[in-house]
Amino acid sequence: MKTLNTSRTITVLMTALMLSGAMTACKSKKKAAAAAAPPDGETEVKVLCSGPEYFTDNKVFRANALGESMDQATAKKKAMSNARADLAASINTQVKAVIDNYVNSREMNNREEVGERYEALAREVVDQKLTGTKTICEKMMKVNSSGNYKCYVAIELSAQELLAAYNERLSTDERLRIDYDYEKFKETFEKEMEKMGKK
Question: What is the pLDDT at residue 23?
Answer: 54
> Lowest-pLDDT range, 23-27, 39-43, 53-57?
23-27
Question: What is the pLDDT at residue 18?
Answer: 58
Query: Residue 62: pLDDT above 90?
Result: yes
Using one digit for the tens of pLDDT, what is the confidence trace for 160-171?
988 888 888 888
181: closest CA among 114, 130, 126? Answer: 114
DSSP string, 108-175: -SSHHHHHHHHHHHHHHHHHHHGGG-EEEEEEEEE-TTT--EEEEEEEEEEHHHHHHHHHHHHHT-HH
Q: How confident is the model at residue 100 (pLDDT cuts 50, 70, 90)?
A: confident
Question: What is the pLDDT at residue 193?
Answer: 85
C-alpha–C-alpha distance, residues 129 and 166, integer Å: 10
Average confidence (pLDDT) over 134-150: 93
C-alpha–C-alpha distance, residues 92 and 80, integer Å: 18
137: closest CA among 47, 64, 75, 67? Answer: 64
- Assessment of whether the complete model's pTM goes beyond 0.75: no
